[in-house]
Chains A and B, each alone.
Chain A
């Protein structure tokens, strides 16, 4: 029998060791650092004040002169401080400005070249396949409208026939543990519109046989259907890097354009 209570106590002790001690040491060292700095700072001030006082006492006659000098030195210090502050400011904006200028210049060239090309060929091509926010909202509206269409009865019929199929397939998979059976299940769930299950089974099929192209496709398609378009594209792009198949490229395009 496991002694879980004892084990939990040990685990808490371990956590204290691994988390609290390093944190405490960081806090402690920072306190020492800040405290040290404060002490040093206050000491340096105390060193300055007596000498200041002494100068006032000894050279009491030329108070005004000294006052003006001290004022001058104060203003100098201020300027120095300001300069220091200025020098501590990030240098990045300066570089950015230069960059911006360069970018602007290059953009000008690009614009010139592009307008030239447009004038020459008079063909307007879309920059990329990603949908804009407005296009996406239109798509979403269109999808909502599609849902209203009465296709439900068809799907219900299909589901009733497929339940037995799913059960038998699941049983078969448990017997064989084969990737092919998981893939068939994923395919069936995808057809049925149960994308969550389709995604799970495609993942299982892929884990058992990562070379199966269809498992990648079903996984990505299910993700896309579940609204995880970015993830779907990421998966397909990583697979395309390995496979370089035209089918993968086509599917990437379909998901990008929202056909799936």
Chain B
């Protein structure tokens, strides 16, 4: 027997998809800054913040919005091998596939870029850049110096990664966008919009401000954590709906289930 809560919980599966993007005031502002920065003569744009603040989501939205009008490429997973990275850059720029036994020479790639100066402007979106090695970061820096390639990179905000940002990009990154966790108001909009967009208006209306406050208390407004928490909540709801429907109310969001989910995820030590 299937439950409608199964569909609700699936909304909160943490997936980077443009259809899952929820317009929030803070995110809309960051997006407009990011988009306008691409028109400026910048070599690099740095998007940084703690994990789960929506960096990848923003990058994904930027890619889907601009792919029809601009030369833009999105590396959603980091390519850790230098050989593979250079090959991917060249293949994206030239549109040609390089045979497996051949490799891209970095000096050759730089020269190729220099030849394209004032003719083309190519944007590369690189996610999870904290995983790239320092030598590879150095090459990214040199490629951005040609002014043919513009990199938009995302970094997790930790002390070490701040060092990377400082050392490698302080003279090159002109636009720095810091992403932060959602406040209670933003979190409420995020949850409500996600559910309403998929047609679960009645369930979304049962979630009151005090429930949002409770969710925010444990997730600290982190979108990834929020998704995880809500997935667990509706997972429990689904169980009750199928096996013990008398235990859940259609009018009121269950505090018991909120607490049970918090226990299950280890937010509460029971």
Q: List the interface of chain A (C-beta within 8 A of B).
A: 2, 4, 7-8, 10-11, 13-14, 17, 173-174, 177, 182, 200-201, 203-204, 207-208
Interface size in chain B (residues, C-beta < 8 A): 23
Q: How far is the CA of A174 from the CA of B199 in the complex (A)?
A: 6
Is A2 touching B196 in the complex (CB atoms < 8 A)?
no
Q: Is the C-beta of B192 less than 8 angstroms from some C-beta in chain A?
A: yes
Q: How far is the CA of A208 from the CA of B256 in the complex (A)?
A: 28
- Nearest first, the 3 closest Cβ-Cβ pairs linking A and B are A177-B197, A14-B270, A10-B270
Q: Is the interface of A mostly helix, strand, loop or mixed?
A: helix
Q: How far is the CA of A7 from the CA of B199 in the complex (A)?
A: 30
Q: What distance in Å separates the Cβ of B9 from its nearest Cβ neighbour in chain A?
A: 11
Q: What distance in Å separates the Cβ of A196 from its nearest Cβ neighbour in chain B?
A: 12
Q: What distance in Å separates the Cβ of A130 from its nearest Cβ neighbour in chain B?
A: 28
Question: Which of B189, B199, B202, B268 is in CB contact (< 8 Å) with A207?
Answer: B189
Q: Which residues of B contact A203 (CB under 8 A)?
A: 205
- Of B189, B196, B199, B263, chain A has the most CB atoms within 10 Å of the CB of B196
List CB contacts (< 8 Å) of B190-211 with chain A.
192-193, 196-199, 201-202, 204-205
User: How many contacting A-B pairs (Cβ < 8 A)?
Assistant: 49
Q: Which residues of A contact B197 (CB under 8 A)?
A: 177
Q: What distance in Å separates the Cβ of B216 from its nearest Cβ neighbour in chain A?
A: 17
Q: Is the C-beta of B260 less than 8 angstroms from some C-beta in chain A?
A: yes
Q: Which residues of A contact B193 (CB under 8 A)?
A: 207-208
| Residue in A closest to B19 when the chains form the complex, CB atoms | A177
Q: What distance in Å separates the Cβ of A86 from its nearest Cβ neighbour in chain B?
A: 45
| Residue in B closest to A201 when the chains form the complex, CB atoms | B201
Q: Is the C-beta of B236 less than 8 angstroms from some C-beta in chain A?
A: yes
List CB contacts (< 8 Å) of B153-211 with chain A.
189, 192-193, 196-199, 201-202, 204-205
Is A14 touching B263 in the complex (CB atoms < 8 A)?
yes
Q: How far is the CA of A14 from the CA of B236 in the complex (A)?
A: 17
Q: With A2-B239, A207-B193, A207-B196 in contact, is A7–B205 under 8 Å at CB?
A: no
